[in-house]
A and B are shown apart, each in its own frame.
Chain A
Amino acid sequence: MKKSIVCLLVIALFVTIFGAAGAEDSDGKITVWAWDPSFNIAIMKEAAARYEAINPDIKIDIVEMAKADVEQKLNTVLAAKTTEGLPEIVLIEDYNAQKYLQYYPGSFADLTTKFNYNDFAAYKVGVMTLDGKVYGVPFDSGVVGFFYRSDILAEAGFKAEDLKNITWDQFIEIGKTVKEKTGKYMLGFQNTDGGIMRIMMQSAGKWYFDEEGKPALIGNQALVEAFELYKKIVDSGIAKPTNNWNEWVGTINTGESASVTSGVWIVGSIKAAKDQSGLWDVAPVPRLSTVDSKNASNLGGSSWYILDKSADKDAAIDFMQKIYAGDKDFYQTILINNGAVGTYLPAATGEAYSTPDEFFGGRAIYEDLSAWMKEIPPVDYGIYTYEADAAIMAQMEAVCAGTMTIDDAIKAAEAQLENQIQ
């Protein structure tokens, strides 16, 4: 009998020992959650090093996770309404920002008076504004470029001029010639991926919702054309099918595909294949032809948010003010090292932007990209971008296979979206 008590005591002891060693609020430590080691993490490390040099009392702990994992943990922590385990700073993708702000009220620090938001690109500030209050620190731009292999396209008979300000239909025709003459694919493509669709939509200043945030898929001509283009891309055989991000990047790095149309943040991945230096060039993103559309668009991009109830909130704000809204040299460095185009306007000019990039055949690509950034039609992403994406892409397979008309697909997608967001 005594032994049983001893036994239970041992277990209790176990619990308390480990419990005591548990999470304590350690002051002077700013925790950051972010994803992508070669981009966001590397940039945050640079920022941390700069801040720690000014303020040695603060330690910045950058926790690296997969993007899906950051979102999952943030949801879990916020939903549990605890203040334990909150990071000070978290990276949130622009498409998702409103969702967090609206459905976790009071969770994010109101930064309206802490930063001068005129210093940031207006379309980024809009994404993080709710009821007139601003909740984040704008970070990278997702300005889209049509990045291509100048050598492959030259082999197929295309000069840089031929690729400027084209439409997607022209893009597909060029792709067919490339495939015919060089045997290379024009692009790596995943027909379940909404990325290209979102690029096309935003180039026309359209999105999946109307002003009141209601689904607006039916009667959306930009969407109809995007659907048609997806099918054309698949049918024309110019795209190498890829199943995931890694394979998709792989098609560029192995030289199998002649181009990639994506956000500027893809430059880091393009440059990973060092043997292709000098063989790349960039042109503005193709536009739609049946609606009013520009040769400028956006894909992705994210911003930093500060958790209101985190232990070292004030230190985190100071950190963001000093580096992300003050250190111009920092933005030059991350542009050169990581290809990050910041949205802090006072730092959007300077040597780093006008320096010719050898990898891109000596073109000062960031000068071009910053110019295109100003042309991006602003759209309100609303809160249900991923729901809409899922609803549309669920029908894409049938459309591409030719078993469903685009009209029916859009109707089905809208019905599903209505159900999803009720």
Chain B
Amino acid sequence: MGKKLSMKGWLFISPALILLAVFLVYPIIYSFYLSFTSTKGIISSFVGFKNYIRLVKDPMFLLALKNTGIILLIQVPIMLISALILANILNDRKLAGRGIFRTAIFLPSVTSLIAYTILFKMLFSFDGIINRLLLSTGIVDHPLEWLTTPKLAVFVLILAMLWRWTGYNTVFYLSAMQNISYEIYEAAEIDGASKTQTFLRITLPLLKPMILFTTIMSTIGTLQLFDEPMNLSQGGVTAATMGPGNCFLTLSVYIYNLCFKYVPNFGYAATVSYVIVFIIAGLTVLQFWAGQSNEEKDAKKRLEKEGKA
């Protein structure tokens, strides 16, 4: 690459560079500074690492961390595995009407977070459609308190997120699968491999980069989860907890509360948000490390083998 050419590259990058510097990098640095201050409204003081120490003893923060962790550990794996299975089914060229199914499954992804949360809140209200359905089919004998019992409320939140995001991830997998040459599958079929075997031995390894990508993106998304719990738990003017037993108190919701609901402490809020950054960074490194170790080589080997067959 010539030096002159490289310089021209900067011209392509510079608009993005300028915008990112002003609207992303500066705010990031500024809020990092904020995380070492304690503010009450506009009264602010530098406190060093005090905010970080306070975190460890803050029951609300620990609860938010726990809630977010639970949602992350349950929702992300279920969603990604379901998306993988759906994508695998839809990738079958012999499947009739797969265009329709694909559209139906992707459709939830176009709704706004607020809109679908409101819909789910209404569906799962005490005398909502879900309870009516369960009562009329005799599955339950009294209406369930979906959104007022902590465990059920988390269940509804996870269900709603699955509805909204599974199709979204399915499209990513489906796209990646369509890059896998069809001949490989045909060869496998001739060799007498079962569907499950083909999926586990061929599709999965080849999809590894995509799985890694979606895992990281979903992890980031879930750790920043805000709109859904916020809107599901909105209790009008006098709500005191974020959902029953504070089960909707995620880290981002806690940040929001620290900034806007309580006496605004933007410094401490920034500290909490940097905890999210550190967690995401840690998990990303972990996921990269787990994703790259042995599998990559294995997949390559297998690909060569299959190619020869």
Contacts and interface: CB of A to CB of B under 8 A. Distances in A.
A243 B125 contact: yes
A384 interface: yes
B41 A244 contact: no
A99 B261 CA distance: 10
A193 B239 contact: yes
B240 A194 contact: yes
Interface stretch (A73-81, A161-169, A174-182, A216-224): A73-81
A4 B58 CA distance: 53
Contacts of B261: 68, 71, 386
Interface string B113-133: 000000001000110000000
Contacts of B236: 193, 244-246, 248
Contacts of B256: 72
Contacts, number: 143
Nearest to B15: A11
Contacts of A72: 256, 259-260
Interface string A89-105: 00001000001101111
Interface string A173-212: 0000000000000000011111100100000000000000
Contacts of B246: 390, 393-394
Interface stretch (A55-63, A120-128, A273-281, A414-422): A414-422
Contacts of A103: 40-43, 263-264
Interface string B255-293: 011011111101000000000000000000000000000
Interface stretch (B67-75, B143-151, B295-303): B143-151
B264 A75 contact: yes
Contacts of A397: 150, 241, 244-245
Contacts of B263: 99, 103, 383-384, 387, 421
Given A72-B260, A103-B42, A390-B241, 8 more contacts: A72-B256, A79-B264, A192-B239, A243-B148, A299-B238, A300-B237, A389-B238, A421-B263
A300 B239 CA distance: 12
A190 B42 contact: no
B125 to A, nearest CB: 5
Which size class do A's interface residues fall under? 35 or more
B229 interface: no
Contacts of B167: none
Interface of B: 8, 11, 14-15, 39-43, 54, 57-60, 63, 121, 125-126, 145-148, 150, 233-241, 243-246, 256-257, 259-264, 266
Contacts of A349: none
Given A103-B42, A105-B42, A300-B237, A241 B264 contact: no
A327 to B, nearest CB: 27
A248 B237 CA distance: 12
A247 B147 CA distance: 11
A97 to B, nearest CB: 12
A393 B264 contact: no
A53 interface: no
Contacts of B60: 390, 394, 416, 419-420
Interface in A224-256: 240-248
Contacts of A240: 126
A96 to B, nearest CB: 9
Contacts of B266: 79
Nearest to A104: B41
Contacts of B235: 190, 192-193, 243-245
A190 B262 contact: no
B7 to A, nearest CB: 10
Q: Which 10 A-B pairs have the closest CB atoms?
A: A245-B236, A103-B41, A397-B245, A393-B240, A243-B147, A389-B240, A195-B238, A194-B240, A72-B260, A192-B241
Nearest to B54: A422
Contacts of A100: 41
A214 interface: no
A416 B241 contact: no
A17 interface: no
Contacts of B260: 68, 71-72, 75-76
B237 A416 contact: no
A133 interface: no
A392 to B, nearest CB: 7
Contacts of A243: 121, 125-126, 146-148, 235
A309 B233 CA distance: 35
Given A243-B147, A394-B246, A104 B42 contact: yes
Interface in A121-166: none
A8 interface: yes
B15 A193 contact: no
Nearest to B59: A416
A360 B62 CA distance: 49
A8 B261 CA distance: 42
